[in-house]
Amino acid sequence: MRDLVPDPGPELLRGLGASAGTAVGPAYRLADPPRLPAPRPVGDPEAEVQRAWAAIDAVCADISRRADAAADATSGEILRVQAALAGDRTLRDGVAQAVRAGHEAPHAVAAILAGHRSALLAAGGLLAARAADLDDLRDRVVAHCLGLPMPTLPDPGCPFVLVAVDLAPADAALLDPARVLAVVTSAGSFVSHTAILARARGLPTVVACGRALEIADGTVVTVDGTTGRVSVGSGEDYTPISAPPTAPAAEHRGQTSDGHPVALLANIGCAAELTGVAVEGVGLFRTELLFQHHIDPPTLAEQVQEYAQVFAAMPDRQVIVRTLDAGSDKPLPFLREHDEPNPALGIRGLRVARRRGDILRTQISAIAAAARESRARVAVMAPMVTTVAEAAEFTALCRDAGLPTVGVMIEVPAAAVRAAEILQTVDFLSVGTNDLSQYAFAADRRSGELADLLDPWQPALLSLIALCAAAGVAVGRPVGVCGEAAADPAFAVVLTGLGVTSLSMSPTAIPAVRAALAAHTVEECRAAAQQALAAGDPATARAAVTRI
C-alpha cells in the first residue's frame, strides 16, 4: 500500500461528511488489533470453553465499567449496548459449541461473531452500521484470550487527527476534543457510533473515506466534516485547530438580519443531551434509544418517565417527539418477525403499526401523559409517512389521546409531492433530508461511492423541499427541516429562502447557523434559494450561493 505524503502538494480524498466543522493537524492511525494465531488442536475442550467464557466475562465487565464512567449519557448508553452484546447468552453457547467442535477459544469467538456480523450486514440499515461493534467485541475477547492488551487511541504528544478503519464504541467514547482534532475513517456511516459520538462532541468527522489508511502518520491533513473532504499534505507550517461550526451570538433565537424568524432547534436522543445547552427548543426527539435497550417494549410508565425528563428541561419551549422510527432496517428484539428482501423499502417507521399497533398506541399515550404534567409545548410527529390517509389516521390517533399539535415527517418523494394535501390533515411538516435523498435518488445513504448523489445541494432534492415549503406557506403552517443538512450554514440560508420555518440539528451546530442567518436579509436568502434551484449540479449551487 502506498502511503500518501505531502510532496509535491496536497492530495484530496473524499468520503461522507458525518460531523460538520473543519480541522487541521497531524494524522495518526489507530493501531491494528491483535491477530489470530495459527490454529492448534484443543487438548481439553471443557477447559477451553471456560477460558473463552472467562474472556467474554472480563470484556463484558470492562465495557460495563467504561459505561458507568462515561463522560456523557450518549456514550454511556452506547457502551451499555456493547456490554449487552458481550453478555448475550447465544454468544456463550455458540462459542462453547465451536470449542467442542475442535476450535481454540480465540478462533471459536472469531467464528461465532463472524456469523453474527454477516447477519447484521445482510439486514442493512442501522443494524449493518453495528457490524463494527461486533468486530471490536471479537478483538477484545481474542486479545484477552491471548493475554494481550487492546490498542488504545494514539498518544503522539500533541493534538491530532485520528485515522482508523472505524472506531468501536469503547474507543469512540474516549474521544476527547482536547486531544483529538477530528476523525477520518475508511469505513463507517452517518449513523455509526463514531459519527454519533463525534457529533455529540463537535468533532469534525469524515467517514467512508476509502483511502484514509494510506495517510502516513504525522502527515498534516485538513478535514472538512461538512463536505466530506480530506486534504492530505497541508504543509508543515500550521497551527493545530479544530473548528466545529460554532460562532458567538448575542441571542439564542434564529432570525435573518431584517428580523425574519427561523427557529433553530436541537436534535436529541435523551434528556442528558440538553445539559448545558441553550436552544429555542427540540425539533427532533428521537425515541429509539429508550426502545433499543429492551427485550420487550418499554412499559407505559417507563416511557412517561423518559419523556417527562426531556419535557422538564424545556419549559415553555417546543419539543417535537418523533414516534418510534424502527422496523426491518432498524430491528428491535420485539419487532423481528421475518426477514425482508429489501428492508429499506419494508416495514419501518409508521408502517410498524400495521403489525404492532399496540406499540404506537402505548407510546402516544405515554407522550400525552408526560405532556399533561409539563410546561413544554409538546408536539408529536410520525416517521416514514407516505400517503394522506396515513397522515390522517395518525393525526386522529394523537388527537384522541389529547395531543393537540400533530405533524409528519417527509422522507418519501410520494409524500413530498402531496405535501399540500397532507397539510390539510396535520399541523406541520418536518423534512428528513437524509432519507428523502436516499429515496429520491435511489442511492443507499451508507454508500461512499454514491456520496455525490446524496449531496443535499442536489437541485432535485431542493425542488422537493421547495414543494413542501410552498405548501406550508400557502396554508400558513410550519415546515421544518430536521436532517443534519440543516447544520450547514450556507444551506440553512437556502432553506430559509425556500420558506422553511425551522431548522433542527445537533446543538453544537446551532451557533454557526444562527450567525449565517443573522448576516443575510430574507430577500437575500430567497435569492440564494433561487440560484441553488436553478443550478445544474451541487457544485454550481454551492458556488452560486457563495457568490451571494
Q: CATH code at 470? A: 3.20.20.60
For 350-379, the pLDDT digits (tens) are 998 888 899 999 999 999 999 999 999 999
State the Cα–Cα distance between residues 165 and 406, nearest whole angstrom. 42
Q: State yes or no: pLDDT of 145 exceeds 80.
A: yes
What is the pLDDT, as a whole number, of residue 153? 85
Q: Is residue 159 domain-shared with residue 226, that is, in the same domain?
A: yes
User: CB count, 10 Å around CB of 399?
Assistant: 12
Q: Is residue 141 domain-shared with residue 160, that is, in the same domain?
A: no
Residue 250 lies in a domain: no
Query: All 3 cell numbers of residue 224?
Result: 472538512
Q: Given 146, 171, 194, which residue is the final one in a domain?
A: 146
Q: Is residue 377 domain-shared with residue 488, that is, in the same domain?
A: yes
Query: Which residue among 144, 482, 520, 525 is the active-site one?
Result: 482
Q: Is residue 81 domain-shared with residue 21, that is, in the same domain?
A: no
Q: Given 127, 146, 165, which residue is the final one in a domain?
A: 146
Q: Is residue 228 domain-shared with residue 361, that is, in the same domain?
A: no
Highest mean predicted confidence (pLDDT) among 96-100, 409-413, 543-547: 409-413
Residue 478 lies in a domain: yes
Q: State yes or no: pLDDT of 247 exceeds 60.
A: no
Q: Is residue 163 domain-shared with residue 112, that is, in the same domain?
A: no
For 486-529, the pLDDT digits (tens) are 988 899 999 999 999 999 988 878 888 898 999 999 999 999 99
Q: State yes or no: pLDDT of 6 exceeds 50.
A: no
What is the pLDDT, as a whole number, of residue 2? 44
Q: Is residue 271 domain-shared with residue 384, that is, in the same domain?
A: yes
Query: Where does the pLDDT of residue 461 fall: very low under 50, low under 70, confident under 90, or very high at 90 and above?
Result: very high
Query: Where does the pLDDT of residue 330 fall: very low under 50, low under 70, confident under 90, or very high at 90 and above?
Result: low
State the Cα–Cα distance between residues 475 and 100, nearest whole angstrom. 69
Query: Which residue among 193, 270, 468, 525 is the active-site one?
Result: 193
Contacts of 44 (CB under 8 A, 6+ apart): none
Between 345 and 400, the higher pLDDT residue: 400
Q: Given 131, 146, 161, which residue is the final one in a domain?
A: 146
Residue 487 lies in a domain: yes
Query: All 3 cell numbers of residue 480?
Result: 421544518
Q: Kindly tell me the sign of the dihedral angle through the C-alpha atoms of 195, 199, 203, 205.
A: positive
Question: What CATH number does the domain containing 190 carry?
Answer: 3.50.30.10
What is the pLDDT, as a whole number, of residue 341? 72
Contacts of 441 (CB under 8 A, 6+ apart): 450, 453, 454, 458, 460, 461
What is the pLDDT, as a whole number, of residue 335? 72
Between the alpha carbon of residue 384 and those of residues 335, 353, 435, 480, 503, the distances in Å are: 17, 11, 9, 16, 19
For 222-234, the pLDDT digits (tens) are 999 877 899 998 6
What is the pLDDT, as a whole number, of residue 244? 53
Domain count, the chain: 3
Residue 486 lies in a domain: yes
**Phi then psi dihedrals of residue 362, to 5 deg:** -65, -40
Q: Is residue 124 domain-shared with residue 176, that is, in the same domain?
A: no
Residue 249 lies in a domain: no
**Phi then psi dihedrals of residue 207, to 5 deg:** -115, 170
**Catalytic residue list contains 482:** yes
Q: Is residue 201 domain-shared with residue 303, that is, in the same domain?
A: no
**Catalytic residue list contains 116:** no
Q: Residue 89 belongs to what domain range?
A: 45-146
Q: Is residue 300 domain-shared with residue 412, that is, in the same domain?
A: yes
Between the alpha carbon of residue 420 and those of residues 305, 417, 494, the distances in Å are: 36, 8, 21
Contact between 165 and 186 (Cβ < 8 Å)? yes
Across residues 380-389, what is the average pLDDT?
Answer: 97
- Strand-pairing partners, residue 505, are 266
Residue 378 lies in a domain: yes
Between the alpha carbon of residue 404 and those of residues 367, 395, 526, the distances in Å are: 12, 9, 32
Q: Is residue 427 domain-shared with residue 482, that is, in the same domain?
A: yes
Contact between 45 and 177 (Cβ < 8 Å)? no
Question: What CATH number does the domain containing 120 carry?
Answer: 1.10.274.10
Residue 114 lies in a domain: yes
Model pTM?
Answer: 0.64
Q: State yes or no: pLDDT of 445 exceeds 80.
A: no
Q: State yes or no: pLDDT of 472 exceeds 70.
A: yes
- When the pLDDT of each residue in the chain is averaged and rounded to a whole number, the result is 86
For 179-204, the pLDDT digits (tens) are 999 999 998 876 677 887 787 788 89
Percent share of the chain, pLDDT over 70: 88
Residue 357 lies in a domain: yes
Q: Is residue 136 domain-shared with residue 197, that is, in the same domain?
A: no
- Strand-pairing partners, residue 261, are 255
